[in-house]
Structure 1
Amino acid sequence: MLSPSTTHLVLIPSYNTGPKLFETVRAARRHWTPVWVVIDGSTDGTGEELARLAERDPGLRVLTLPVNSGKGAAVLHGLKEAERHGFTHALTMDSDGQHPADMIARFQAISEANPDALILGTPVFDAEAPRLRVGGRKISNWWANLETLWTGIGDSLFGFRVYPIAHLRAVMEGNRWMRRFDFDPEAAVRLCWRGLRPINVPAPVRYFRPEEGGVSHFNYYRDNALLTWMHTRLMLGFVVRLPMLAWRRATSDHRAVDRDHLA
Protein backbone atom coordinates (compact mmCIF):
# COMPACT_ATOMS: atom_id res chain seq x y z
CA MET A 1 0.00 0.00 0.00
CA LEU A 2 1.33 3.42 -0.97
CA SER A 3 2.19 5.90 1.75
CA PRO A 4 0.48 9.23 1.05
CA SER A 5 2.76 12.13 0.21
CA THR A 6 2.21 15.33 2.17
CA THR A 7 4.07 17.53 -0.34
CA HIS A 8 3.57 16.10 -3.85
CA LEU A 9 0.23 15.17 -5.39
CA VAL A 10 -0.97 14.14 -8.85
CA LEU A 11 -3.38 16.62 -10.45
CA ILE A 12 -5.52 15.51 -13.41
CA PRO A 13 -7.77 18.03 -15.19
CA SER A 14 -10.55 16.35 -17.16
CA TYR A 15 -13.24 17.38 -19.61
CA ASN A 16 -15.53 14.80 -21.24
CA THR A 17 -12.82 12.13 -21.49
CA GLY A 18 -15.19 9.18 -21.09
CA PRO A 19 -13.93 5.77 -19.92
CA LYS A 20 -10.28 6.77 -20.46
CA LEU A 21 -10.55 8.95 -17.35
CA PHE A 22 -11.17 5.92 -15.14
CA GLU A 23 -8.29 4.00 -16.72
CA THR A 24 -6.02 6.99 -16.15
CA VAL A 25 -7.08 7.46 -12.53
CA ARG A 26 -6.73 3.77 -11.69
CA ALA A 27 -3.25 3.73 -13.22
CA ALA A 28 -2.23 6.89 -11.37
CA ARG A 29 -3.54 5.51 -8.07
CA ARG A 30 -1.45 2.35 -8.49
CA HIS A 31 1.67 4.51 -8.50
CA TRP A 32 0.88 7.49 -6.25
CA THR A 33 -1.29 8.87 -3.50
CA PRO A 34 -2.93 11.31 -3.32
CA VAL A 35 -4.44 11.78 -6.77
CA TRP A 36 -6.78 14.70 -7.35
CA VAL A 37 -9.02 15.10 -10.40
CA VAL A 38 -10.56 18.42 -11.44
CA ILE A 39 -13.73 17.82 -13.46
CA ASP A 40 -13.84 20.84 -15.76
CA GLY A 41 -17.57 21.14 -16.41
CA SER A 42 -17.86 17.66 -17.95
CA THR A 43 -21.29 16.67 -19.25
CA ASP A 44 -20.59 12.97 -19.89
CA GLY A 45 -21.32 11.74 -16.37
CA THR A 46 -17.70 10.97 -15.56
CA GLY A 47 -17.58 13.47 -12.71
CA GLU A 48 -20.47 11.89 -10.85
CA GLU A 49 -19.16 8.37 -11.32
CA LEU A 50 -15.65 9.32 -10.26
CA ALA A 51 -17.02 11.05 -7.17
CA ARG A 52 -18.69 7.78 -6.16
CA LEU A 53 -15.36 5.97 -6.57
CA ALA A 54 -13.63 8.62 -4.43
CA GLU A 55 -16.04 7.88 -1.59
CA ARG A 56 -14.38 4.45 -1.29
CA ASP A 57 -10.82 5.62 -1.94
CA PRO A 58 -9.23 8.04 0.56
CA GLY A 59 -6.31 8.58 -1.82
CA LEU A 60 -8.58 10.03 -4.51
CA ARG A 61 -10.26 13.41 -4.43
CA VAL A 62 -12.58 14.94 -7.03
CA LEU A 63 -13.02 18.70 -7.48
CA THR A 64 -15.73 19.97 -9.81
CA LEU A 65 -16.07 23.17 -11.82
CA PRO A 66 -19.67 23.95 -12.87
CA VAL A 67 -18.79 24.97 -16.45
CA ASN A 68 -15.95 24.14 -18.80
CA SER A 69 -13.24 26.76 -18.26
CA GLY A 70 -10.18 25.23 -19.91
CA LYS A 71 -7.25 23.07 -18.82
CA GLY A 72 -5.29 25.92 -17.27
CA ALA A 73 -8.29 27.14 -15.29
CA ALA A 74 -8.89 23.62 -13.98
CA VAL A 75 -5.25 23.26 -12.97
CA LEU A 76 -5.28 26.63 -11.20
CA HIS A 77 -8.39 25.61 -9.27
CA GLY A 78 -6.61 22.45 -8.14
CA LEU A 79 -3.42 24.32 -7.27
CA LYS A 80 -5.21 26.74 -4.95
CA GLU A 81 -6.93 23.92 -3.11
CA ALA A 82 -3.73 21.84 -2.94
CA GLU A 83 -1.74 24.75 -1.52
CA ARG A 84 -4.46 25.32 1.05
CA HIS A 85 -3.89 21.74 2.21
CA GLY A 86 -0.14 22.19 2.50
CA PHE A 87 1.04 20.61 -0.76
CA THR A 88 4.08 22.21 -2.40
CA HIS A 89 4.30 20.41 -5.76
CA ALA A 90 1.87 19.02 -8.32
CA LEU A 91 2.47 16.53 -11.10
CA THR A 92 0.00 17.25 -13.88
CA MET A 93 -1.08 14.59 -16.35
CA ASP A 94 -3.79 14.38 -18.98
CA SER A 95 -6.92 12.34 -18.37
CA ASP A 96 -6.97 10.62 -21.77
CA GLY A 97 -4.44 7.87 -21.02
CA GLN A 98 -1.60 9.32 -23.11
CA HIS A 99 0.81 9.90 -20.22
CA PRO A 100 2.83 7.16 -18.48
CA ALA A 101 1.45 6.60 -14.99
CA ASP A 102 4.30 4.18 -14.24
CA MET A 103 6.71 7.14 -14.35
CA ILE A 104 4.87 9.23 -11.75
CA ALA A 105 7.06 8.09 -8.86
CA ARG A 106 10.25 8.79 -10.81
CA PHE A 107 9.18 12.33 -11.72
CA GLN A 108 8.10 13.03 -8.14
CA ALA A 109 11.42 11.73 -6.80
CA ILE A 110 13.36 14.02 -9.14
CA SER A 111 11.23 16.92 -7.96
CA GLU A 112 11.78 16.02 -4.30
CA ALA A 113 15.54 16.10 -4.93
CA ASN A 114 15.25 19.39 -6.86
CA PRO A 115 12.35 21.27 -5.24
CA ASP A 116 13.09 24.59 -6.99
CA ALA A 117 13.23 23.03 -10.47
CA LEU A 118 10.61 22.54 -13.16
CA ILE A 119 10.45 18.83 -14.09
CA LEU A 120 9.44 18.61 -17.75
CA GLY A 121 8.53 15.43 -19.55
CA THR A 122 9.93 15.15 -23.07
CA PRO A 123 7.73 12.87 -25.17
CA VAL A 124 8.99 9.67 -26.74
CA PHE A 125 6.48 8.99 -29.52
CA ASP A 126 5.33 5.60 -30.77
CA ALA A 127 4.46 4.73 -34.35
CA GLU A 128 0.80 5.72 -33.82
CA ALA A 129 1.59 9.38 -33.09
CA PRO A 130 0.00 11.73 -35.67
CA ARG A 131 2.76 13.20 -37.82
CA LEU A 132 1.05 16.58 -37.97
CA ARG A 133 1.02 16.82 -34.18
CA VAL A 134 4.60 15.59 -33.82
CA GLY A 135 5.95 17.97 -36.48
CA GLY A 136 3.86 20.95 -35.41
CA ARG A 137 5.11 20.92 -31.82
CA LYS A 138 8.65 21.54 -33.03
CA ILE A 139 7.59 25.06 -33.97
CA SER A 140 6.23 25.79 -30.50
CA ASN A 141 9.36 24.28 -28.92
CA TRP A 142 11.63 26.52 -31.00
CA TRP A 143 9.71 29.64 -30.00
CA ALA A 144 9.61 28.64 -26.32
CA ASN A 145 13.38 28.20 -26.26
CA LEU A 146 13.95 31.50 -28.03
CA GLU A 147 11.68 33.26 -25.54
CA THR A 148 13.75 31.87 -22.66
CA LEU A 149 17.14 32.51 -24.29
CA TRP A 150 17.63 28.78 -24.82
CA THR A 151 17.31 27.87 -21.16
CA GLY A 152 16.62 24.28 -22.16
CA ILE A 153 12.90 23.53 -22.51
CA GLY A 154 12.89 20.04 -23.99
CA ASP A 155 9.21 20.13 -24.94
CA SER A 156 6.82 23.01 -24.36
CA LEU A 157 3.55 21.17 -24.98
CA PHE A 158 3.89 17.88 -23.10
CA GLY A 159 1.66 18.15 -20.03
CA PHE A 160 3.31 15.41 -17.96
CA ARG A 161 5.42 17.53 -15.60
CA VAL A 162 5.94 18.55 -11.97
CA TYR A 163 5.39 22.17 -10.92
CA PRO A 164 6.32 23.99 -7.71
CA ILE A 165 2.80 25.08 -6.77
CA ALA A 166 3.57 28.52 -5.31
CA HIS A 167 5.53 29.62 -8.38
CA LEU A 168 2.93 28.40 -10.88
CA ARG A 169 0.02 29.89 -8.95
CA ALA A 170 1.78 33.26 -8.75
CA VAL A 171 2.47 33.22 -12.49
CA MET A 172 -1.11 32.32 -13.37
CA GLU A 173 -2.69 34.82 -11.02
CA GLY A 174 -0.43 37.51 -12.45
CA ASN A 175 -2.03 37.43 -15.91
CA ARG A 176 -5.36 36.62 -17.54
CA TRP A 177 -4.00 34.05 -19.97
CA MET A 178 -2.85 30.41 -19.56
CA ARG A 179 -6.41 29.17 -19.03
CA ARG A 180 -6.89 26.94 -22.09
CA PHE A 181 -4.62 25.17 -24.59
CA ASP A 182 -1.99 27.86 -24.08
CA PHE A 183 -1.42 26.68 -20.50
CA ASP A 184 1.44 24.19 -20.91
CA PRO A 185 3.84 26.19 -23.13
CA GLU A 186 3.20 29.50 -21.39
CA ALA A 187 3.69 27.93 -17.97
CA ALA A 188 7.09 26.57 -19.02
CA VAL A 189 8.25 29.90 -20.45
CA ARG A 190 7.03 32.07 -17.59
CA LEU A 191 8.46 29.78 -14.92
CA CYS A 192 11.83 29.90 -16.66
CA TRP A 193 11.52 33.68 -16.61
CA ARG A 194 11.09 33.40 -12.83
CA GLY A 195 14.43 31.59 -12.67
CA LEU A 196 13.24 28.00 -12.31
CA ARG A 197 15.66 25.51 -13.87
CA PRO A 198 14.04 23.03 -16.27
CA ILE A 199 15.00 19.37 -15.87
CA ASN A 200 13.97 17.34 -18.90
CA VAL A 201 13.03 13.69 -18.45
CA PRO A 202 12.10 11.43 -21.41
CA ALA A 203 8.68 9.81 -21.09
CA PRO A 204 6.68 7.70 -23.55
CA VAL A 205 3.43 9.09 -24.90
CA ARG A 206 0.68 7.12 -26.61
CA TYR A 207 -2.02 8.42 -28.93
CA PHE A 208 -5.21 6.37 -28.96
CA ARG A 209 -7.44 6.04 -32.01
CA PRO A 210 -11.15 6.85 -31.58
CA GLU A 211 -12.02 3.14 -31.76
CA GLU A 212 -9.65 2.61 -28.81
CA GLY A 213 -11.47 5.22 -26.76
CA GLY A 214 -9.13 8.06 -27.66
CA VAL A 215 -10.50 11.55 -27.06
CA SER A 216 -9.03 14.82 -28.26
CA HIS A 217 -10.45 18.32 -27.87
CA PHE A 218 -7.64 19.88 -29.91
CA ASN A 219 -8.98 22.10 -32.69
CA TYR A 220 -6.31 22.61 -35.33
CA TYR A 221 -7.32 26.13 -36.40
CA ARG A 222 -8.63 27.52 -33.10
CA ASP A 223 -5.81 26.21 -30.93
CA ASN A 224 -3.03 27.01 -33.38
CA ALA A 225 -4.39 30.57 -33.52
CA LEU A 226 -4.32 30.62 -29.71
CA LEU A 227 -0.70 29.43 -29.71
CA THR A 228 0.25 32.04 -32.30
CA TRP A 229 -1.23 34.82 -30.17
CA MET A 230 0.45 33.35 -27.09
CA HIS A 231 3.91 33.36 -28.68
CA THR A 232 3.33 36.91 -29.93
CA ARG A 233 2.66 38.00 -26.34
CA LEU A 234 5.59 36.03 -25.00
CA MET A 235 7.98 37.52 -27.55
CA LEU A 236 6.99 41.00 -26.39
CA GLY A 237 7.62 39.91 -22.83
CA PHE A 238 10.93 38.35 -23.87
CA VAL A 239 12.16 41.64 -25.36
CA VAL A 240 11.37 43.44 -22.10
CA ARG A 241 13.15 40.75 -20.06
CA LEU A 242 16.10 40.25 -22.41
CA PRO A 243 18.67 42.18 -20.30
CA MET A 244 17.71 40.22 -17.19
CA LEU A 245 17.74 36.89 -19.02
CA ALA A 246 21.12 37.67 -20.59
CA TRP A 247 22.57 38.60 -17.18
CA ARG A 248 21.19 35.42 -15.64
CA ARG A 249 22.64 33.33 -18.46
CA ALA A 250 26.06 34.98 -18.13
CA THR A 251 26.04 34.46 -14.36
CA SER A 252 25.09 30.81 -14.81
CA ASP A 253 27.85 30.28 -17.37
CA HIS A 254 30.44 31.85 -15.06
CA ARG A 255 29.37 29.60 -12.19
CA ALA A 256 29.66 26.56 -14.44
CA VAL A 257 33.20 27.58 -15.45
CA ASP A 258 34.13 28.13 -11.79
CA ARG A 259 32.86 24.65 -10.89
CA ASP A 260 34.89 23.14 -13.71
CA HIS A 261 38.04 24.87 -12.45
CA LEU A 262 37.42 23.69 -8.90
CA ALA A 263 36.90 20.16 -10.14
Structure 2
Amino acid sequence: MVVPTYNEALNLEWIVGRLRAAQPDVDVMIVDDSSPDGTGDIADRLAAADDQIHVVHRTEKAGLGAAYVHGFTIALAQGYDVIGEMDADGSHQPEQLYRLLNGLVDSDLVIGSRYVKGGSVVNWPVFRRLLSAFGNLYVRLLLGIHVRDSTAGYRLFRRATLEKIDVTTVTVSGYVFQTEMAWRAIQARLRVHEVPIEFIERERGDSKMSQAVAIESLQRITWWGLQQRRKQLVRTLRRSHG
Protein backbone atom coordinates (compact mmCIF):
# COMPACT_ATOMS: atom_id res chain seq x y z
CA MET A 1 0.00 0.00 0.00
CA VAL A 2 1.56 3.28 -1.10
CA VAL A 3 0.98 6.11 1.39
CA PRO A 4 2.28 9.55 0.31
CA THR A 5 3.06 12.03 3.07
CA TYR A 6 3.80 15.70 3.52
CA ASN A 7 3.60 17.10 7.05
CA GLU A 8 1.64 14.16 8.46
CA ALA A 9 3.58 13.80 11.73
CA LEU A 10 0.32 13.93 13.70
CA ASN A 11 -1.26 11.09 11.72
CA LEU A 12 1.36 8.76 10.28
CA GLU A 13 2.04 6.38 13.17
CA TRP A 14 -1.67 6.22 13.97
CA ILE A 15 -2.80 5.38 10.44
CA VAL A 16 0.03 2.94 9.68
CA GLY A 17 -0.66 1.14 12.95
CA ARG A 18 -4.31 0.76 12.00
CA LEU A 19 -3.38 -0.50 8.54
CA ARG A 20 -0.95 -3.09 9.87
CA ALA A 21 -3.54 -4.28 12.41
CA ALA A 22 -6.39 -4.44 9.89
CA GLN A 23 -4.39 -6.19 7.14
CA PRO A 24 -1.24 -7.82 8.59
CA ASP A 25 -0.28 -9.33 5.20
CA VAL A 26 -0.17 -5.96 3.45
CA ASP A 27 3.19 -4.23 3.04
CA VAL A 28 3.32 -0.45 3.42
CA MET A 29 5.41 2.02 1.42
CA ILE A 30 5.57 5.54 2.84
CA VAL A 31 6.61 8.12 0.23
CA ASP A 32 7.63 11.31 2.02
CA ASP A 33 8.27 14.58 0.18
CA SER A 34 10.87 15.96 2.64
CA SER A 35 8.28 16.97 5.22
CA PRO A 36 9.68 19.74 7.46
CA ASP A 37 7.60 18.56 10.44
CA GLY A 38 9.58 15.35 10.96
CA THR A 39 7.22 12.95 9.17
CA GLY A 40 10.18 11.31 7.44
CA ASP A 41 11.89 10.58 10.76
CA ILE A 42 8.71 8.96 12.09
CA ALA A 43 8.49 6.87 8.93
CA ASP A 44 12.08 5.70 9.37
CA ARG A 45 11.39 4.73 12.97
CA LEU A 46 8.33 2.70 11.94
CA ALA A 47 10.29 0.96 9.18
CA ALA A 48 13.12 0.10 11.57
CA ALA A 49 10.67 -1.70 13.82
CA ASP A 50 8.68 -3.51 11.10
CA ASP A 51 10.17 -5.11 7.99
CA GLN A 52 6.83 -4.81 6.17
CA ILE A 53 7.09 -1.02 6.26
CA HIS A 54 9.32 0.71 3.72
CA VAL A 55 10.18 4.37 3.26
CA VAL A 56 11.00 6.40 0.17
CA HIS A 57 12.42 9.87 0.79
CA ARG A 58 11.95 12.41 -1.98
CA THR A 59 13.95 15.63 -2.10
CA GLU A 60 11.09 18.06 -2.69
CA LYS A 61 7.35 18.54 -2.47
CA ALA A 62 6.44 17.62 -6.06
CA GLY A 63 2.73 16.83 -5.67
CA LEU A 64 0.50 13.86 -5.00
CA GLY A 65 0.62 12.47 -8.52
CA ALA A 66 4.41 12.51 -8.67
CA ALA A 67 4.64 10.77 -5.29
CA TYR A 68 2.29 8.00 -6.41
CA VAL A 69 4.07 7.49 -9.73
CA HIS A 70 7.37 7.20 -7.85
CA GLY A 71 5.92 4.73 -5.36
CA PHE A 72 4.12 2.65 -7.98
CA THR A 73 7.26 2.44 -10.11
CA ILE A 74 9.28 1.12 -7.18
CA ALA A 75 6.55 -1.37 -6.23
CA LEU A 76 6.43 -2.68 -9.80
CA ALA A 77 10.20 -3.08 -9.85
CA GLN A 78 9.99 -5.02 -6.59
CA GLY A 79 7.54 -7.48 -8.16
CA TYR A 80 4.26 -6.73 -6.36
CA ASP A 81 1.15 -8.07 -8.13
CA VAL A 82 -1.34 -5.79 -6.34
CA ILE A 83 -0.49 -2.16 -5.56
CA GLY A 84 -2.76 0.19 -3.64
CA GLU A 85 -2.99 3.79 -2.57
CA MET A 86 -4.49 5.60 0.41
CA ASP A 87 -4.22 8.90 2.26
CA ALA A 88 -2.24 9.24 5.47
CA ASP A 89 -4.74 11.50 7.22
CA GLY A 90 -7.31 8.90 8.27
CA SER A 91 -9.92 9.79 5.67
CA HIS A 92 -9.49 6.29 4.20
CA GLN A 93 -10.20 3.74 6.89
CA PRO A 94 -7.82 0.76 6.85
CA GLU A 95 -10.58 -1.32 8.43
CA GLN A 96 -12.48 -1.03 5.14
CA LEU A 97 -9.61 -2.17 2.92
CA TYR A 98 -11.13 -5.65 2.81
CA ARG A 99 -13.93 -4.21 0.67
CA LEU A 100 -11.42 -3.21 -1.99
CA LEU A 101 -9.60 -6.53 -1.74
CA ASN A 102 -12.87 -8.41 -2.24
CA GLY A 103 -13.72 -6.20 -5.21
CA LEU A 104 -10.41 -6.97 -6.89
CA VAL A 105 -11.51 -10.56 -7.56
CA ASP A 106 -13.19 -9.53 -10.83
CA SER A 107 -11.59 -6.12 -11.43
CA ASP A 108 -8.42 -4.55 -12.79
CA LEU A 109 -8.88 -1.37 -10.75
CA VAL A 110 -11.01 -1.03 -7.61
CA ILE A 111 -12.01 2.40 -6.31
CA GLY A 112 -13.25 3.02 -2.79
CA SER A 113 -16.16 5.27 -3.64
CA ARG A 114 -18.09 7.86 -1.64
CA TYR A 115 -20.81 8.13 -4.27
CA VAL A 116 -22.10 4.64 -4.93
CA LYS A 117 -24.83 2.97 -2.88
CA GLY A 118 -23.53 2.44 0.64
CA GLY A 119 -20.81 5.07 0.37
CA SER A 120 -20.81 8.23 2.49
CA VAL A 121 -18.87 11.31 3.60
CA VAL A 122 -18.47 12.32 7.25
CA ASN A 123 -17.77 15.84 8.56
CA TRP A 124 -17.62 17.68 5.27
CA PRO A 125 -19.29 21.13 5.04
CA VAL A 126 -22.04 21.56 2.47
CA PHE A 127 -19.83 23.63 0.15
CA ARG A 128 -17.15 20.91 0.04
CA ARG A 129 -19.78 18.26 -0.72
CA LEU A 130 -21.22 20.35 -3.54
CA LEU A 131 -17.77 21.07 -4.98
CA SER A 132 -16.88 17.37 -4.98
CA ALA A 133 -20.22 16.35 -6.47
CA PHE A 134 -19.91 18.98 -9.21
CA GLY A 135 -16.33 17.93 -9.98
CA ASN A 136 -17.29 14.29 -10.41
CA LEU A 137 -20.33 15.19 -12.53
CA TYR A 138 -18.11 17.38 -14.72
CA VAL A 139 -15.72 14.46 -15.23
CA ARG A 140 -18.53 12.08 -16.20
CA LEU A 141 -20.06 14.52 -18.66
CA LEU A 142 -16.82 15.67 -20.26
CA LEU A 143 -14.95 12.36 -20.41
CA GLY A 144 -17.99 10.12 -20.80
CA ILE A 145 -16.95 7.65 -18.09
CA HIS A 146 -19.20 5.69 -15.74
CA VAL A 147 -17.10 6.14 -12.58
CA ARG A 148 -19.05 8.09 -9.98
CA ASP A 149 -16.06 8.98 -7.79
CA SER A 150 -13.18 9.52 -10.18
CA THR A 151 -11.41 11.82 -7.70
CA ALA A 152 -11.27 9.17 -4.96
CA GLY A 153 -7.84 8.22 -3.65
CA TYR A 154 -8.49 4.85 -2.01
CA ARG A 155 -7.66 2.28 -4.70
CA LEU A 156 -6.17 -1.07 -5.63
CA PHE A 157 -4.51 -1.75 -8.98
CA ARG A 158 -3.42 -5.01 -10.47
CA ARG A 159 0.17 -5.01 -11.69
CA ALA A 160 -1.01 -5.57 -15.26
CA THR A 161 -3.25 -2.51 -15.01
CA LEU A 162 -0.40 -0.15 -14.13
CA GLU A 163 1.72 -1.68 -16.87
CA LYS A 164 -1.00 -1.42 -19.52
CA ILE A 165 -1.79 2.24 -18.80
CA ASP A 166 1.96 2.94 -18.49
CA VAL A 167 1.91 4.74 -15.17
CA THR A 168 5.44 6.05 -15.74
CA THR A 169 4.10 8.42 -18.43
CA VAL A 170 1.64 10.16 -16.09
CA THR A 171 2.87 13.72 -15.56
CA VAL A 172 0.08 15.47 -13.63
CA SER A 173 1.18 16.48 -10.14
CA GLY A 174 -2.02 17.19 -8.22
CA TYR A 175 -5.21 15.39 -7.28
CA VAL A 176 -6.27 15.17 -10.94
CA PHE A 177 -3.87 12.21 -11.02
CA GLN A 178 -6.76 10.13 -9.66
CA THR A 179 -9.03 11.08 -12.54
CA GLU A 180 -6.36 10.44 -15.15
CA MET A 181 -5.63 6.97 -13.79
CA ALA A 182 -9.31 5.98 -13.90
CA TRP A 183 -9.74 7.47 -17.38
CA ARG A 184 -6.67 5.68 -18.73
CA ALA A 185 -7.92 2.37 -17.32
CA ILE A 186 -11.31 2.81 -18.97
CA GLN A 187 -9.74 3.82 -22.29
CA ALA A 188 -7.65 0.66 -22.10
CA ARG A 189 -10.92 -1.34 -21.71
CA LEU A 190 -9.94 -2.58 -18.27
CA ARG A 191 -12.46 -3.55 -15.61
CA VAL A 192 -12.97 -0.60 -13.24
CA HIS A 193 -15.32 -1.17 -10.32
CA GLU A 194 -16.34 0.95 -7.33
CA VAL A 195 -17.02 -0.32 -3.83
CA PRO A 196 -18.62 1.81 -1.12
CA ILE A 197 -16.54 3.35 1.65
CA GLU A 198 -17.16 5.80 4.46
CA PHE A 199 -14.87 8.78 3.88
CA ILE A 200 -14.00 10.74 7.03
CA GLU A 201 -12.62 14.26 6.91
CA ARG A 202 -9.25 14.59 8.61
CA GLU A 203 -9.27 15.58 12.28
CA ARG A 204 -5.59 16.49 12.60
CA GLY A 205 -3.24 18.41 10.33
CA ASP A 206 -3.96 20.57 7.30
CA SER A 207 -5.58 19.59 4.03
CA LYS A 208 -3.34 19.65 0.95
CA MET A 209 -6.18 20.77 -1.30
CA SER A 210 -5.60 24.30 -2.61
CA GLN A 211 -6.95 26.65 -5.25
CA ALA A 212 -3.99 25.88 -7.51
CA VAL A 213 -4.71 22.14 -7.27
CA ALA A 214 -8.38 22.70 -8.09
CA ILE A 215 -7.51 24.88 -11.09
CA GLU A 216 -5.06 22.28 -12.41
CA SER A 217 -7.78 19.63 -12.18
CA LEU A 218 -10.33 21.77 -14.01
CA GLN A 219 -7.89 22.69 -16.77
CA ARG A 220 -6.68 19.15 -17.35
CA ILE A 221 -10.14 17.58 -17.40
CA THR A 222 -11.43 20.27 -19.78
CA TRP A 223 -8.46 19.73 -22.12
CA TRP A 224 -8.89 15.95 -22.10
CA GLY A 225 -12.62 16.33 -22.76
CA LEU A 226 -12.07 18.69 -25.69
CA GLN A 227 -9.47 16.34 -27.18
CA GLN A 228 -11.88 13.43 -26.90
CA ARG A 229 -14.69 15.39 -28.55
CA ARG A 230 -12.34 16.38 -31.39
CA LYS A 231 -11.36 12.75 -31.97
CA GLN A 232 -15.02 11.70 -31.99
CA LEU A 233 -15.85 14.43 -34.51
CA VAL A 234 -12.97 13.37 -36.78
CA ARG A 235 -14.15 9.73 -36.69
CA THR A 236 -17.72 10.77 -37.47
CA LEU A 237 -16.62 12.91 -40.43
CA ARG A 238 -14.45 10.11 -41.80
CA ARG A 239 -17.33 7.64 -41.62
CA SER A 240 -19.70 10.08 -43.34
CA HIS A 241 -17.22 10.60 -46.17
CA GLY A 242 -16.16 6.97 -46.33
What is the TM-score normalised by the length of structure 1?
A: 0.79
Q: Is the CA contact (8 Å cut-off) linking 1:38 and 1:63 kept in structure 2?
A: yes
Partner of 1:215: 206
Give 1:96 shift.
0.7
Q: Is the CA contact (8 Å cut-off) linking 2:2 and 2:71 kept in structure 1?
A: yes
Using a 3 Å threshold, how does the CA distance of structure 1 residues 41 and 241 change in structure 2: closer, same or farther?
A: farther
Q: Report matched runs for 1:4-15 at 5 Å.
A: 10-15=1-6
How many residues are paired up? 228
**Is 1:235 the equivalent of 2:225?**
yes
Partner of 1:190: 184
Alpha-carbon distance in structure 2 between the residues aligned to 1:132 and 1:146: 21
CA RMSD of aligned residues (A): 2.3
Partner of 2:139: 144
Give 1:165 shift.
3.9
**Is 1:104 the equivalent of 2:97?**
yes
Q: Report matched runs for 1:1-263 at 5 Å.
A: 10-32=1-23, 33-111=26-104, 113-115=105-107, 117-123=108-114, 124-126=120-122, 128-149=123-144, 151-168=145-162, 170-176=165-171, 178-208=172-202, 212-219=203-210, 221-240=211-230, 242=232
In the alignment, residue 140 of structure 1 is paired with which amino acid? G
Q: Is the CA contact (8 Å cut-off) linking 2:143 and 2:225 kept in structure 1?
A: no
Q: Is the CA contact (8 Å cut-off) linking 1:120 and 1:154 kept in structure 2?
A: no
Alpha-carbon distance in structure 1 between the residues aligned to 2:218 and 2:3: 26
Using a 3 Å threshold, how does the CA distance of structure 1 residues 142 and 171 change in structure 2: closer, same or farther?
A: farther
Give 1:133 shift.
1.6
Q: Please list the CA deviations of residues 79-121 of structure 1 after superposition, one character each: whole Å capped at 9, or x if unmatched.
A: 111111111222210011111110112312321x125x22111
Give the SS at the match of 1:41: coil
Q: Is the CA contact (8 Å cut-off) linking 2:4 and 2:31 kept in structure 1?
A: yes
Alpha-carbon distance in structure 1 between the residues aligned to 2:63 and 2:87: 13
Alpha-carbon distance in structure 1 between the residues aligned to 2:67 and 2:17: 20
Q: Which has the higher contact order (CA 8 A, sep 6+)?
A: 2
Alpha-carbon distance in structure 1 between the residues aligned to 2:55 and 2:160: 21
